[in-house]
Structure 1
Amino acid sequence: MLKLSGVIITFNEERNIEKCLQSLVNVVDEIVVVDSNSTDNTKKICERYNVNFITQEFLGYIEQKNFALDQASYNHIISLDGDEALSEELQKSILTLKTNWNFDGYYTNRFNNFCGQWIKYSDWYPNKKLRVFDRRKAEWKGLNPHDNVQLYDESAQIGHLNGDILHWTYRTYDEMDKKTDYFSTIAAKAYYDNHKTAPIIKLLWNPSWAFFKAFFLRLGFLDGLNGFRICYQTGKITYLKYLKLRKLYRAIS
Protein backbone atom coordinates (compact mmCIF):
# COMPACT_ATOMS: atom_id res chain seq x y z
CA MET A 1 0.00 0.00 0.00
CA LEU A 2 1.28 3.45 -0.96
CA LYS A 3 2.51 5.63 1.92
CA LEU A 4 1.91 9.36 2.27
CA SER A 5 3.82 12.18 3.95
CA GLY A 6 1.98 15.20 5.28
CA VAL A 7 4.27 18.25 5.04
CA ILE A 8 3.56 21.55 6.80
CA ILE A 9 5.46 24.81 7.23
CA THR A 10 4.67 26.92 10.29
CA PHE A 11 5.39 30.16 12.08
CA ASN A 12 3.34 31.11 15.14
CA GLU A 13 0.38 28.94 14.16
CA GLU A 14 -0.94 28.04 17.63
CA ARG A 15 -4.38 29.27 16.56
CA ASN A 16 -4.80 26.74 13.75
CA ILE A 17 -2.12 24.04 13.80
CA GLU A 18 -4.09 21.53 15.85
CA LYS A 19 -6.94 21.50 13.32
CA CYS A 20 -4.36 20.91 10.60
CA LEU A 21 -2.72 18.01 12.44
CA GLN A 22 -6.02 16.41 13.41
CA SER A 23 -7.10 16.35 9.77
CA LEU A 24 -3.88 14.59 8.72
CA VAL A 25 -3.19 12.14 11.52
CA ASN A 26 -5.51 9.37 10.24
CA VAL A 27 -4.68 9.97 6.58
CA VAL A 28 -0.89 10.09 6.25
CA ASP A 29 1.90 7.78 7.41
CA GLU A 30 4.06 10.59 8.75
CA ILE A 31 3.75 14.30 9.45
CA VAL A 32 6.70 16.63 8.91
CA VAL A 33 6.51 20.14 10.38
CA VAL A 34 9.16 22.68 9.37
CA ASP A 35 8.93 25.63 11.73
CA SER A 36 10.52 29.07 11.35
CA ASN A 37 11.41 29.63 15.03
CA SER A 38 7.89 30.17 16.34
CA THR A 39 7.64 32.13 19.59
CA ASP A 40 4.16 30.89 20.54
CA ASN A 41 2.88 27.40 21.44
CA THR A 42 3.19 25.92 17.95
CA LYS A 43 5.93 23.47 18.93
CA LYS A 44 4.19 22.43 22.15
CA ILE A 45 0.99 21.64 20.26
CA CYS A 46 2.88 19.67 17.60
CA GLU A 47 4.58 17.61 20.31
CA ARG A 48 1.17 16.18 21.26
CA TYR A 49 1.20 14.40 17.91
CA ASN A 50 3.71 12.00 16.41
CA VAL A 51 5.36 14.54 14.13
CA ASN A 52 8.89 15.10 12.90
CA PHE A 53 9.36 18.71 14.08
CA ILE A 54 12.23 20.53 12.36
CA THR A 55 13.35 24.08 13.09
CA GLN A 56 14.61 25.99 10.06
CA GLU A 57 15.18 29.71 9.73
CA PHE A 58 12.76 31.06 7.14
CA LEU A 59 14.26 30.81 3.65
CA GLY A 60 11.38 32.37 1.69
CA TYR A 61 8.00 30.75 1.02
CA ILE A 62 9.07 28.75 -2.04
CA GLU A 63 12.46 27.80 -0.62
CA GLN A 64 11.02 26.80 2.77
CA LYS A 65 8.39 24.56 1.21
CA ASN A 66 10.92 22.84 -1.05
CA PHE A 67 13.17 22.33 1.98
CA ALA A 68 10.21 20.74 3.77
CA LEU A 69 9.61 18.37 0.84
CA ASP A 70 13.19 17.14 1.15
CA GLN A 71 12.60 16.18 4.79
CA ALA A 72 9.77 13.75 3.98
CA SER A 73 10.34 10.01 4.10
CA TYR A 74 7.89 9.20 1.32
CA ASN A 75 7.53 10.49 -2.22
CA HIS A 76 3.77 10.97 -2.22
CA ILE A 77 3.01 14.25 -0.51
CA ILE A 78 0.14 16.20 1.00
CA SER A 79 1.39 19.77 1.46
CA LEU A 80 -0.44 22.18 3.76
CA ASP A 81 0.16 25.47 5.51
CA GLY A 82 -0.34 25.64 9.25
CA ASP A 83 -3.64 27.51 8.85
CA GLU A 84 -5.14 24.84 6.58
CA ALA A 85 -6.86 21.50 7.19
CA LEU A 86 -8.45 18.72 5.16
CA SER A 87 -12.24 18.53 5.16
CA GLU A 88 -13.71 15.14 6.09
CA GLU A 89 -14.66 14.54 2.45
CA LEU A 90 -11.13 15.34 1.28
CA GLN A 91 -9.67 13.01 3.92
CA LYS A 92 -11.76 10.17 2.48
CA SER A 93 -10.73 11.05 -1.07
CA ILE A 94 -7.03 11.01 -0.17
CA LEU A 95 -7.31 7.69 1.66
CA THR A 96 -8.52 6.04 -1.56
CA LEU A 97 -5.26 7.11 -3.23
CA LYS A 98 -3.30 4.67 -1.11
CA THR A 99 -4.61 1.84 -3.28
CA ASN A 100 -5.57 3.81 -6.38
CA TRP A 101 -3.00 6.52 -7.23
CA ASN A 102 -3.47 7.13 -10.96
CA PHE A 103 -2.05 10.61 -11.64
CA ASP A 104 1.14 12.60 -11.12
CA GLY A 105 -0.70 15.03 -8.87
CA TYR A 106 -4.17 16.01 -7.72
CA TYR A 107 -5.97 19.34 -7.50
CA THR A 108 -8.19 20.17 -4.56
CA ASN A 109 -10.50 23.12 -3.98
CA ARG A 110 -9.59 25.49 -1.15
CA PHE A 111 -12.41 26.98 0.93
CA ASN A 112 -11.39 30.20 2.70
CA ASN A 113 -12.74 31.52 5.99
CA PHE A 114 -12.50 35.31 6.36
CA CYS A 115 -13.55 37.05 9.59
CA GLY A 116 -15.69 34.03 10.50
CA GLN A 117 -17.41 33.78 7.09
CA TRP A 118 -16.80 31.06 4.52
CA ILE A 119 -16.26 32.89 1.24
CA LYS A 120 -18.00 31.30 -1.74
CA TYR A 121 -17.25 33.74 -4.56
CA SER A 122 -14.73 36.27 -5.95
CA ASP A 123 -11.33 34.66 -6.59
CA TRP A 124 -11.51 32.82 -3.28
CA TYR A 125 -13.56 29.78 -4.31
CA PRO A 126 -13.03 27.19 -5.62
CA ASN A 127 -9.40 28.49 -5.43
CA LYS A 128 -8.02 25.29 -6.99
CA LYS A 129 -4.66 24.12 -5.60
CA LEU A 130 -2.24 21.32 -6.50
CA ARG A 131 -1.34 20.00 -3.03
CA VAL A 132 -1.31 16.22 -3.41
CA PHE A 133 1.52 15.08 -5.64
CA ASP A 134 4.56 12.90 -6.29
CA ARG A 135 7.58 14.98 -5.24
CA ARG A 136 9.78 13.21 -7.79
CA LYS A 137 7.73 14.96 -10.47
CA ALA A 138 7.07 18.38 -8.92
CA GLU A 139 8.38 21.24 -6.81
CA TRP A 140 7.27 24.57 -5.40
CA LYS A 141 7.85 27.43 -7.84
CA GLY A 142 6.44 30.86 -8.70
CA LEU A 143 7.29 34.30 -7.31
CA ASN A 144 7.25 34.87 -3.55
CA PRO A 145 4.85 35.07 -1.83
CA HIS A 146 2.69 33.55 -4.60
CA ASP A 147 4.05 30.02 -4.49
CA ASN A 148 2.51 27.04 -6.24
CA VAL A 149 3.34 23.42 -6.98
CA GLN A 150 4.38 22.84 -10.58
CA LEU A 151 4.94 19.51 -12.28
CA TYR A 152 8.17 19.15 -14.25
CA ASP A 153 6.54 17.54 -17.28
CA GLU A 154 3.98 19.65 -19.17
CA SER A 155 2.26 16.45 -20.28
CA ALA A 156 1.82 15.26 -16.69
CA GLN A 157 -1.59 13.92 -15.76
CA ILE A 158 -3.47 15.73 -12.98
CA GLY A 159 -6.62 14.50 -11.26
CA HIS A 160 -9.10 16.31 -9.03
CA LEU A 161 -10.18 15.20 -5.55
CA ASN A 162 -13.57 15.71 -3.94
CA GLY A 163 -13.59 17.78 -0.77
CA ASP A 164 -11.89 21.01 0.28
CA ILE A 165 -8.77 22.30 1.92
CA LEU A 166 -10.21 24.46 4.70
CA HIS A 167 -8.21 27.68 5.08
CA TRP A 168 -8.57 30.10 7.99
CA THR A 169 -7.27 33.42 6.69
CA TYR A 170 -7.85 36.66 8.64
CA ARG A 171 -9.89 37.26 11.77
CA THR A 172 -10.06 41.05 11.37
CA TYR A 173 -9.73 43.72 8.70
CA ASP A 174 -6.72 45.12 10.52
CA GLU A 175 -4.96 41.77 10.33
CA MET A 176 -5.68 41.65 6.60
CA ASP A 177 -4.32 45.18 6.09
CA LYS A 178 -1.05 44.30 7.83
CA LYS A 179 -0.62 41.14 5.77
CA THR A 180 -1.44 43.04 2.58
CA ASP A 181 1.37 45.48 3.31
CA TYR A 182 3.73 42.61 4.18
CA PHE A 183 2.94 40.47 1.14
CA SER A 184 3.05 43.40 -1.28
CA THR A 185 6.58 44.20 -0.08
CA ILE A 186 7.70 40.61 -0.69
CA ALA A 187 6.01 40.58 -4.11
CA ALA A 188 7.63 43.87 -5.16
CA LYS A 189 11.08 42.54 -4.23
CA ALA A 190 10.44 39.31 -6.16
CA TYR A 191 9.28 41.31 -9.19
CA TYR A 192 12.39 43.47 -8.96
CA ASP A 193 14.69 40.44 -8.73
CA ASN A 194 12.99 39.02 -11.84
CA HIS A 195 13.34 42.31 -13.76
CA LYS A 196 9.62 42.96 -14.01
CA THR A 197 8.68 46.54 -14.84
CA ALA A 198 6.12 48.88 -13.29
CA PRO A 199 4.95 51.41 -15.89
CA ILE A 200 2.23 53.82 -14.80
CA ILE A 201 -0.37 51.93 -16.86
CA LYS A 202 0.15 48.82 -14.72
CA LEU A 203 -0.11 50.89 -11.55
CA LEU A 204 -3.47 52.26 -12.65
CA TRP A 205 -5.02 49.50 -14.76
CA ASN A 206 -4.01 46.26 -13.01
CA PRO A 207 -5.55 47.09 -9.59
CA SER A 208 -8.79 48.31 -11.21
CA TRP A 209 -9.07 45.18 -13.33
CA ALA A 210 -8.26 42.94 -10.33
CA PHE A 211 -11.14 44.49 -8.34
CA PHE A 212 -13.59 44.47 -11.26
CA LYS A 213 -12.89 40.84 -12.12
CA ALA A 214 -13.21 39.61 -8.53
CA PHE A 215 -16.25 41.70 -7.56
CA PHE A 216 -18.33 41.54 -10.73
CA LEU A 217 -17.13 38.70 -12.99
CA ARG A 218 -16.37 36.31 -10.11
CA LEU A 219 -19.51 37.43 -8.22
CA GLY A 220 -17.70 38.67 -5.13
CA PHE A 221 -20.65 40.95 -4.34
CA LEU A 222 -22.65 37.86 -3.38
CA ASP A 223 -20.49 37.49 -0.26
CA GLY A 224 -21.77 40.83 1.04
CA LEU A 225 -19.62 43.30 2.93
CA ASN A 226 -16.79 40.82 3.41
CA GLY A 227 -16.92 40.04 -0.28
CA PHE A 228 -16.47 43.73 -1.09
CA ARG A 229 -13.61 44.00 1.38
CA ILE A 230 -11.82 41.01 -0.15
CA CYS A 231 -12.19 42.34 -3.69
CA TYR A 232 -11.06 45.80 -2.60
CA GLN A 233 -8.01 44.25 -0.96
CA THR A 234 -7.29 42.27 -4.12
CA GLY A 235 -7.00 45.56 -5.99
CA LYS A 236 -5.08 47.21 -3.17
CA ILE A 237 -2.34 44.58 -2.95
CA THR A 238 -1.92 44.78 -6.74
CA TYR A 239 -1.55 48.56 -6.49
CA LEU A 240 0.91 48.37 -3.59
CA LYS A 241 3.23 45.84 -5.17
CA TYR A 242 3.60 47.96 -8.33
CA LEU A 243 3.98 51.16 -6.30
CA LYS A 244 6.71 49.56 -4.18
CA LEU A 245 8.36 48.12 -7.29
CA ARG A 246 8.54 51.64 -8.79
CA LYS A 247 10.12 52.87 -5.55
CA LEU A 248 12.73 50.11 -5.72
CA TYR A 249 13.73 51.16 -9.22
CA ARG A 250 13.91 54.83 -8.17
CA ALA A 251 16.09 53.95 -5.18
CA ILE A 252 18.59 52.17 -7.44
CA SER A 253 18.70 54.80 -10.21
Structure 2
Amino acid sequence: MNKIPISVIILTFNEEKNITACLDSIGHHFEKVFMVDSGSNDDTLNIVKNYPVEVIQHPFENYSKQRNWAFKNLPIQTEWILNMDADHRLTPEIITELAFQFKQGISQSINGMLASRKTLFMGKWIKYGGHYPTYHAVIFRNGKGFCEDKLYDQHFKVDGEVLKLNGDIIDLITESLSTFTLRHDKWSGLEALEQFEKQKINDATIKGSLTSKNPIAKRRYIKNIYERFPLFVRPALYFFIRYFLRLGFLDGRRGLIFHFLQCFWFRFLIDAKIYELRKTRNENK
Protein backbone atom coordinates (compact mmCIF):
# COMPACT_ATOMS: atom_id res chain seq x y z
CA MET A 1 0.00 0.00 0.00
CA ASN A 2 1.28 3.46 -0.89
CA LYS A 3 2.05 5.74 2.00
CA ILE A 4 -0.76 8.07 3.02
CA PRO A 5 0.41 11.66 2.28
CA ILE A 6 0.11 12.85 5.87
CA SER A 7 2.72 14.00 8.39
CA VAL A 8 2.01 12.73 11.89
CA ILE A 9 3.01 14.92 14.84
CA ILE A 10 3.27 13.37 18.32
CA LEU A 11 3.98 15.36 21.49
CA THR A 12 5.95 13.53 24.16
CA PHE A 13 7.47 13.84 27.61
CA ASN A 14 8.52 10.70 29.48
CA GLU A 15 6.22 8.40 27.52
CA GLU A 16 8.17 5.13 27.72
CA LYS A 17 5.00 3.27 28.74
CA ASN A 18 2.99 4.55 25.76
CA ILE A 19 5.21 5.39 22.83
CA THR A 20 5.80 1.83 21.53
CA ALA A 21 2.09 1.04 21.16
CA CYS A 22 1.47 4.49 19.70
CA LEU A 23 4.14 4.10 17.00
CA ASP A 24 3.12 0.51 16.31
CA SER A 25 -0.42 1.71 15.61
CA ILE A 26 0.95 4.28 13.14
CA GLY A 27 3.16 1.69 11.47
CA HIS A 28 4.68 2.58 8.11
CA HIS A 29 1.44 3.87 6.63
CA PHE A 30 2.24 7.60 6.64
CA GLU A 31 4.66 9.77 4.71
CA LYS A 32 6.41 11.19 7.77
CA VAL A 33 6.29 10.95 11.56
CA PHE A 34 7.59 13.75 13.77
CA MET A 35 7.96 13.58 17.53
CA VAL A 36 8.23 16.86 19.41
CA ASP A 37 9.78 15.97 22.75
CA SER A 38 10.13 18.31 25.69
CA GLY A 39 13.13 16.81 27.45
CA SER A 40 12.21 13.21 28.24
CA ASN A 41 14.62 11.65 30.74
CA ASP A 42 13.16 8.14 30.78
CA ASP A 43 13.58 5.54 28.01
CA THR A 44 11.33 7.31 25.48
CA LEU A 45 14.11 8.53 23.21
CA ASN A 46 15.90 5.16 23.17
CA ILE A 47 12.69 3.38 22.19
CA VAL A 48 12.03 5.80 19.35
CA LYS A 49 15.43 5.04 17.80
CA ASN A 50 13.91 1.77 16.56
CA TYR A 51 11.31 3.61 14.48
CA PRO A 52 11.47 5.88 11.40
CA VAL A 53 10.67 8.98 13.44
CA GLU A 54 12.28 12.41 13.32
CA VAL A 55 12.69 13.71 16.88
CA ILE A 56 12.80 17.44 17.57
CA GLN A 57 13.37 18.85 21.03
CA HIS A 58 11.45 21.93 22.15
CA PRO A 59 10.77 23.21 25.69
CA PHE A 60 7.15 22.79 26.79
CA GLU A 61 5.22 25.88 27.87
CA ASN A 62 1.70 24.67 27.35
CA TYR A 63 -0.15 22.33 24.99
CA SER A 64 -1.40 25.03 22.62
CA LYS A 65 1.95 26.72 22.22
CA GLN A 66 3.73 23.40 21.67
CA ARG A 67 1.30 22.36 18.95
CA ASN A 68 1.36 25.70 17.18
CA TRP A 69 5.16 25.87 17.40
CA ALA A 70 5.32 22.49 15.68
CA PHE A 71 3.07 23.64 12.82
CA LYS A 72 5.30 26.64 12.16
CA ASN A 73 8.75 25.13 12.66
CA LEU A 74 8.78 21.47 11.66
CA PRO A 75 10.02 20.72 8.12
CA ILE A 76 6.62 19.44 7.02
CA GLN A 77 6.55 18.53 3.34
CA THR A 78 3.07 17.02 3.10
CA GLU A 79 -0.17 18.90 2.53
CA TRP A 80 -1.89 17.21 5.47
CA ILE A 81 -1.12 16.90 9.21
CA LEU A 82 -2.37 14.37 11.77
CA ASN A 83 -2.02 15.30 15.46
CA MET A 84 -1.54 12.62 18.10
CA ASP A 85 -0.48 12.21 21.71
CA ALA A 86 1.56 9.25 22.93
CA ASP A 87 -1.50 7.73 24.62
CA HIS A 88 -3.44 7.69 21.34
CA ARG A 89 -3.70 4.67 19.06
CA LEU A 90 -4.85 4.63 15.45
CA THR A 91 -7.31 1.85 14.70
CA PRO A 92 -6.83 -0.27 11.54
CA GLU A 93 -10.24 1.01 10.41
CA ILE A 94 -9.21 4.67 10.38
CA ILE A 95 -5.94 3.89 8.57
CA THR A 96 -7.85 1.95 5.91
CA GLU A 97 -10.38 4.76 5.63
CA LEU A 98 -7.70 7.43 5.24
CA ALA A 99 -5.93 5.38 2.58
CA PHE A 100 -9.22 5.08 0.69
CA GLN A 101 -10.04 8.79 1.04
CA PHE A 102 -6.68 9.89 -0.33
CA LYS A 103 -6.72 7.33 -3.13
CA GLN A 104 -10.16 8.59 -4.11
CA GLY A 105 -9.07 12.21 -3.83
CA ILE A 106 -9.96 14.86 -1.25
CA SER A 107 -12.13 17.73 -2.42
CA GLN A 108 -10.34 21.08 -2.38
CA SER A 109 -13.24 22.45 -0.33
CA ILE A 110 -12.27 20.13 2.54
CA ASN A 111 -9.56 21.49 4.83
CA GLY A 112 -9.95 19.20 7.83
CA MET A 113 -11.14 15.81 9.03
CA LEU A 114 -12.99 14.90 12.22
CA ALA A 115 -12.30 11.63 14.02
CA SER A 116 -13.97 10.32 17.14
CA ARG A 117 -12.05 9.40 20.26
CA LYS A 118 -12.71 5.92 21.64
CA THR A 119 -11.85 6.27 25.31
CA LEU A 120 -10.36 3.31 27.18
CA PHE A 121 -10.42 3.61 30.99
CA MET A 122 -8.96 0.82 33.14
CA GLY A 123 -9.02 -1.30 29.98
CA LYS A 124 -12.71 -0.72 29.27
CA TRP A 125 -14.28 1.20 26.39
CA ILE A 126 -16.39 4.01 27.83
CA LYS A 127 -19.28 3.83 25.40
CA TYR A 128 -22.14 5.58 27.20
CA GLY A 129 -22.79 8.80 29.11
CA GLY A 130 -22.49 10.90 25.97
CA HIS A 131 -18.79 10.11 25.82
CA TYR A 132 -18.87 8.32 22.47
CA PRO A 133 -18.71 9.38 19.75
CA THR A 134 -17.01 12.71 20.42
CA TYR A 135 -15.38 14.19 17.33
CA HIS A 136 -12.14 16.17 17.17
CA ALA A 137 -10.52 17.94 14.22
CA VAL A 138 -7.22 16.09 14.47
CA ILE A 139 -6.39 16.18 10.74
CA PHE A 140 -6.13 19.28 8.57
CA ARG A 141 -4.31 20.78 5.63
CA ASN A 142 -0.98 22.37 6.49
CA GLY A 143 -1.64 26.05 7.16
CA LYS A 144 -5.42 25.60 7.46
CA GLY A 145 -5.58 24.63 11.13
CA PHE A 146 -4.15 25.52 14.52
CA CYS A 147 -4.64 24.77 18.21
CA GLU A 148 -6.80 27.11 20.28
CA ASP A 149 -4.88 29.46 22.58
CA LYS A 150 -6.31 28.04 25.80
CA LEU A 151 -4.76 26.61 28.95
CA TYR A 152 -7.12 23.62 28.99
CA ASP A 153 -9.78 21.95 26.82
CA GLN A 154 -8.03 23.03 23.64
CA HIS A 155 -9.35 21.99 20.26
CA PHE A 156 -7.97 22.31 16.76
CA LYS A 157 -9.66 25.03 14.73
CA VAL A 158 -9.91 24.45 10.98
CA ASP A 159 -10.35 27.18 8.42
CA GLY A 160 -12.93 25.71 6.04
CA GLU A 161 -15.07 22.63 5.66
CA VAL A 162 -14.37 19.37 7.46
CA LEU A 163 -15.00 15.73 6.62
CA LYS A 164 -16.29 13.36 9.32
CA LEU A 165 -14.46 10.01 9.37
CA ASN A 166 -16.02 6.75 10.51
CA GLY A 167 -12.87 5.28 12.05
CA ASP A 168 -11.81 5.98 15.63
CA ILE A 169 -8.68 7.05 17.47
CA ILE A 170 -8.25 5.16 20.73
CA ASP A 171 -7.50 7.38 23.73
CA LEU A 172 -6.00 5.61 26.75
CA ILE A 173 -7.36 8.03 29.30
CA THR A 174 -5.01 6.87 32.06
CA GLU A 175 -2.44 4.25 32.97
CA SER A 176 -3.57 4.27 36.63
CA LEU A 177 -6.00 6.06 38.94
CA SER A 178 -3.05 7.85 40.55
CA THR A 179 -1.99 9.23 37.17
CA PHE A 180 -5.59 10.17 36.37
CA THR A 181 -6.07 12.15 39.59
CA LEU A 182 -2.67 13.86 39.36
CA ARG A 183 -3.28 14.98 35.77
CA HIS A 184 -6.80 16.15 36.49
CA ASP A 185 -5.64 18.04 39.58
CA LYS A 186 -3.27 19.97 37.31
CA TRP A 187 -5.89 20.47 34.60
CA SER A 188 -8.51 21.61 37.12
CA GLY A 189 -6.21 24.46 38.13
CA LEU A 190 -5.79 25.57 34.51
CA GLU A 191 -9.53 25.39 33.82
CA ALA A 192 -10.36 27.21 37.06
CA LEU A 193 -7.96 30.01 36.15
CA GLU A 194 -9.50 30.42 32.68
CA GLN A 195 -13.04 30.52 34.06
CA PHE A 196 -11.98 32.86 36.87
CA GLU A 197 -10.36 35.27 34.44
CA LYS A 198 -13.32 34.85 32.05
CA GLN A 199 -11.20 34.48 28.95
CA LYS A 200 -12.83 36.27 26.06
CA ILE A 201 -13.82 34.49 22.87
CA ASN A 202 -11.65 35.61 19.95
CA ASP A 203 -10.59 34.42 16.51
CA ALA A 204 -8.16 31.98 18.14
CA THR A 205 -10.94 30.05 19.87
CA ILE A 206 -13.94 28.08 18.68
CA LYS A 207 -17.21 29.89 19.28
CA GLY A 208 -20.09 27.92 20.75
CA SER A 209 -23.01 27.41 18.38
CA LEU A 210 -25.96 25.05 18.67
CA THR A 211 -26.75 25.33 14.95
CA SER A 212 -23.19 24.74 13.73
CA LYS A 213 -22.35 21.62 11.73
CA ASN A 214 -19.17 21.43 13.77
CA PRO A 215 -19.70 19.08 16.77
CA ILE A 216 -16.92 20.89 18.65
CA ALA A 217 -18.82 24.18 18.39
CA LYS A 218 -21.96 22.45 19.69
CA ARG A 219 -20.08 21.06 22.69
CA ARG A 220 -18.59 24.49 23.35
CA TYR A 221 -22.12 25.99 23.30
CA ILE A 222 -23.27 23.50 25.93
CA LYS A 223 -20.17 24.14 28.02
CA ASN A 224 -20.85 27.88 27.93
CA ILE A 225 -24.31 27.18 29.36
CA TYR A 226 -22.80 24.93 32.02
CA GLU A 227 -20.46 27.71 33.15
CA ARG A 228 -23.43 29.99 33.88
CA PHE A 229 -24.76 27.63 36.56
CA PRO A 230 -23.81 28.17 40.24
CA LEU A 231 -20.59 26.67 41.52
CA PHE A 232 -20.94 23.25 43.19
CA VAL A 233 -24.46 22.80 41.80
CA ARG A 234 -23.36 22.31 38.20
CA PRO A 235 -21.08 19.27 38.80
CA ALA A 236 -23.95 17.39 40.44
CA LEU A 237 -26.30 18.25 37.57
CA TYR A 238 -23.70 17.30 35.00
CA PHE A 239 -23.05 13.92 36.64
CA PHE A 240 -26.79 13.23 36.89
CA ILE A 241 -27.29 13.98 33.19
CA ARG A 242 -24.29 11.99 31.99
CA TYR A 243 -24.64 9.01 34.31
CA PHE A 244 -28.39 8.58 34.47
CA LEU A 245 -30.06 10.42 31.57
CA ARG A 246 -27.33 9.57 29.07
CA LEU A 247 -26.99 6.02 30.36
CA GLY A 248 -23.47 6.16 31.75
CA PHE A 249 -24.47 3.47 34.25
CA LEU A 250 -24.43 0.97 31.37
CA ASP A 251 -20.62 1.19 31.39
CA GLY A 252 -20.53 -0.93 34.57
CA ARG A 253 -18.27 -0.58 37.59
CA ARG A 254 -15.30 0.88 35.74
CA GLY A 255 -17.76 3.22 34.03
CA LEU A 256 -19.04 4.32 37.43
CA ILE A 257 -15.49 5.16 38.49
CA PHE A 258 -14.82 7.05 35.26
CA HIS A 259 -18.08 9.00 35.11
CA PHE A 260 -17.93 9.95 38.79
CA LEU A 261 -14.33 11.14 38.58
CA GLN A 262 -14.61 12.81 35.18
CA CYS A 263 -18.12 14.24 35.41
CA PHE A 264 -18.36 15.11 39.12
CA TRP A 265 -15.07 15.00 41.05
CA PHE A 266 -13.00 16.81 38.41
CA ARG A 267 -15.58 19.54 37.89
CA PHE A 268 -16.21 19.91 41.62
CA LEU A 269 -12.46 20.41 42.03
CA ILE A 270 -12.55 23.12 39.34
CA ASP A 271 -15.36 24.87 41.24
CA ALA A 272 -13.46 24.61 44.52
CA LYS A 273 -10.41 26.21 42.93
CA ILE A 274 -12.54 28.99 41.41
CA TYR A 275 -14.00 29.57 44.88
CA GLU A 276 -10.46 29.71 46.29
CA LEU A 277 -9.38 32.23 43.63
CA ARG A 278 -12.40 34.45 44.35
CA LYS A 279 -11.78 34.27 48.09
CA THR A 280 -8.13 35.22 47.65
CA ARG A 281 -9.05 38.13 45.37
CA ASN A 282 -11.61 39.48 47.86
CA GLU A 283 -9.15 39.18 50.74
CA ASN A 284 -6.54 41.16 48.80
CA LYS A 285 -8.87 44.05 48.02
TM-score where L is the length of structure 1: 0.89
Q: Partners of 1:147 and 1:125 in 2: how far apart?
A: 18
How far did residue 96 of structure 1 move? 2.2
1:138 maps onto 2:142 in alignment: no
Paired position in structure 1 for 2:88: 84
Q: Partners of 2:246 and 2:31 in 1: how far apart?
A: 38
Paired position in structure 1 for 2:212: none
Paired position in structure 1 for 2:36: 34
Q: In the alignment, which of 67, 73, 95 is matched to residue 69 of structure 2?
A: 67
TM-score where L is the length of structure 2: 0.80
Paired position in structure 2 for 1:56: 58
Q: Partners of 1:165 and 1:151 in 2: how far apart?
A: 19
Paired position in structure 1 for 2:248: 220
Letter in 2 for 1:131: V
Residue 179 of structure 1 aligns to a residue whose secondary structure is helix
Deviations for 1:149-197, whole angstroms, at most 9, x for unmatched residues?
1123xxx22111122101112233333222221210121223334458x
1:110 maps onto 2:105 in alignment: no
Letter in 2 for 1:163: G
* Structure 2: tracts of 5 or more residues without a match: 201-226
Contact kept? 2:232, 2:271, Cα under 8 Å: no
Q: Partners of 1:226 and 1:141 in 2: how far apart?
A: 32
Contact kept? 1:142, 1:148, Cα under 8 Å: no
How far did residue 104 of structure 1 move? 1.3
* Structure 1: tracts of 5 or more residues without a match: none
Q: Partners of 1:179 and 1:158 in 2: how far apart?
A: 31
Structure 1 stretch displaced more, 224-233 or 173-182: 173-182
Letter in 2 for 1:101: I
Deviations for 1:1-50, whole angstroms, at most 9, x for unmatched residues?
97210011111111111222122232211111111211211111112112
Deviations for 1:229-251, whole angstroms, at most 9, x for unmatched residues?
12211222112112212322333
Residue 214 of structure 1 aligns to a residue whose secondary structure is helix
Structure 1 stretch displaced more, 48-57 or 19-28: 19-28
Deviations for 1:40-82, whole angstroms, at most 9, x for unmatched residues?
1111111211211011111211111112222133231111111
The count of aligned residue pairs is 249
Q: Partners of 1:201 and 1:129 in 2: how far apart?
A: 26
Paired position in structure 2 for 1:244: 273
Contact kept? 1:143, 1:187, Cα under 8 Å: no
CA RMSD of superposed structures (Å): 2.3
Q: In the alignment, which of 171, 175, 184 is matched to residue 171 of structure 1?
A: 175
Q: Partners of 1:166 and 1:16 in 2: how far apart?
A: 12
Residue 63 of structure 1 aligns to a residue whose secondary structure is helix
Paired position in structure 1 for 2:260: 232
Q: In the alignment, which of 215, 223, 238 is matched to residue 210 of structure 1?
A: 238
